Amino acid sequence: MTASPARAQRFREFKMPDVGEGLTEAEILKWYVQPGDTVADGQVVCEVETAKAAVELPIPYDGVVHELNFGEGVTVDVGTVIISVDTDPGAGPAAAPAADAPQQPAPSAEEDAEPQGRQAVLVGYGAAPSSTKRRARKQPGVPAQPEAAGGALQAELNGRAAPAPAVTPVPVPAAPPAPAAPAAGAVPTAGRPLAKPPVRKLAKDLGIDLATIAPTGPDGIITREDVHAAAAPAAAASAAVAPAPVAVAPAAVPAGGGERRVPVKGVRKATAQAMVASAFTAPHVTEFITVDVTRTMKLVQELKQDPDMAGLRVNPLLLVAKAFLVALRRHPEVNAAWDEVNQEIVYKDDVNLGIAAATPRGLIVPNIKDAGSKTLPELAAELGDLVATARDGKTSPAAMSGGTVTITNVGVFGVDTGTPILNPGESAILAFGAVKLQPWVHKGKVKARQVTTLALSFDHRLIDGELGSKLLADVAAVLERPKRLITWG
């Protein structure tokens, strides 16, 4: 039973948007409204965390909050309704769209006028509908249905089989009457059941065969709720026949020991996946160089007193970034990416310089767009804004996309250097170690000098040993004699 057009027009549903290109889910961190609260078009109603950042979502309707579909801490797929709004609360009480109605509400005239495809919302994009059409499969004893019944969302589900056509259910004599809710005894659908990878994993973990589940999601998609509903009767049946369990004492925990488990999600999950993908996809090579940066450290102190740098944060990282950019200008072929699909090397004109930042939510790598064109004061301002935004957890997904090379400042932790892993899609990453006072041969005499170690990891598919060595040597040369910022810049 579908909701009437008037009811659908009154109760507007807001779906989880794709707040960053290609994201498939987000966790609801906090609700700023509750049912009964009045909201205005553009008002922020919740904060969600994606695999890239925390983002506040504004509602695109005026009205009164009717229902919050999910609580805080719940991970929701993109395209799933998270909140409904009564846009005409003065019209008196009215039932919201039936929860058990699988059909979508009839669109309003205004919605009909919108173009098909991904629709922009106030933040990000709506779920991308698939344009794939497949011929309905025939089943023995069941007449073929019209081809229009075979709409597809397979591109979003990462599956390969066509969605099951709408058919008349085949009665199974031995099965009991079908309950209203999905059950494990439901009639299997034709072809491969439609479900997203996380749902398939959940079903596998629970020992549920997806083919036995009646889907309730749009276009015949099996949802998490369907899997849990199918698992509940099986668990109850097992409990009914199983003997009373024998109490077993838990294993002894050593004094002062124990463990704590935390779900891997959000930024931490994305970082883990990215690092594994990078480490086992791009052949890494890491080279090291130790350099006397005494002159650079003196320049840092002088710049702090320069009127042109007033109000800007001047630190060694700023000059390391500038040295890296000067070296990249001398070796532009480093600023590239590997296109595995087309088997091509893509050379980039702009250097989008990533800065690895440790935040309470995990490691993120926002980048400064076209950093090579920035003056030193402009670069200092961009670095200051980037770090402040990252610490506040307000870095946007756009700020973390499109990077070409990265700097990671491990020296702030007192670490000499490391072997950094490439940010996926980038060609090189420079690790800047701690600056320490060490004995150093300077002008033929051993003196105490400020010394640091740099490490450069690069994608050996793009950069051979000679090119990588020249790049690292040039960065060190600029830091050893910072006047090269002028002569080489």
Closest Cα partner for 365 from 322, 421, 412?
Answer: 421
Closest Cα partner for 162 from 148, 170, 150, 144?
Answer: 150
Q: How far apart are CA 237 and CA 219, in angstroms?
A: 31
* Phi, psi (rounded to 5 degrees) for 4: -65, 155
Q: How far apart are CA 194 and CA 223, in angstroms?
A: 9
User: Which residues are CB-contacts of 411 (< 8 A; sequence separation ≥ 6)?
Assistant: 316, 432, 433, 434, 435, 452
Of 66, 284, 442, 460, which is the active-site residue?
460
Closest Cα partner for 194 from 231, 167, 161?
Answer: 161
Strand 405-408 versus strand 353-355 pairing type: parallel
Q: How far apart are CA 424 and CA 278, in angstroms?
A: 5
Alpha helices in 339-414 (DSSP H): 376-391
Task: Classify residue 240 by its DSSP letter.
Answer: H
- What angle (nearest 5°) sits at the alpha carbon of residue 19, between those of residues 18 and 25? 55
- The answer to whether 83 touches 12, Cβ cutoff 8 Å, is no
460 part of the active site: yes
Rounded alpha-carbon distances, angstroms, from residue 62 to 36, 65, 87, 89, 165: 13, 9, 6, 10, 38
Active-site residues, by number, are: 460
